[in-house]
Amino acid sequence: MPPIAAATVHDLGSASASVQRSVLTPQASALLSAGSLFPPGTHMTVKPNSWHVTGRFANVLAYLVQPGRAPALYEIGLMRPTNRWLVTYAVPAEP
């Protein structure tokens, strides 16, 4: 997994709402309510060897870890419209 794509997934779980939003495609951001996507203390951990890429599109599995909850596995969809990866979707995945 390219480090820049791993950073995008990491930033999705940032404590900053503006950082969280900065890694979403404009279309994905428009579909979500304003403000933070996750509570403070949340982080994302990429599952090793789960990166798949075809051209400008990719997906990866990552654990969403929120305070007081068990880690949940998500499939994160990404696209690279320019020189950085952006999140297009995140859906629960089977472990």
Domain of residue 50, CATH code:
3.10.450
Q: For residue 24, what are the CA distances in angstroms to 2, 16, 94? A: 17, 13, 23
pLDDT tier at 94 (50, 70, 90 boundaries)?
A: confident
**Total of domains in the chain:** 1
pTM to 2 decimals? 0.90
Instruction: Report the alpha-carbon distance of residue 57 to residue 79 in Å, rounded.
Output: 4
Residue-level pLDDT at 30: 94
pLDDT of residue 45: 95
Question: Is the per-residue pLDDT at 51 higher than 90?
Answer: yes
State residue 2's pLDDT score. 94
Asked whether the predicted pLDDT for residue 21 surpasses 80, the reply is yes
Looking at the predicted structure, is the pLDDT value of residue 22 above 80?
A: yes
Give buried/exposed letters for 53-67 (b at 16+ CB in 10 A, else e): eeeeebbbbbbbbee
Computed over every residue of the chain, the mean pLDDT equals 95
State the pLDDT at residue 79: 97
Ranges assigned E (strand) in 6-56: 43-46, 52-54
Domain encompassing residue 87: 3-92
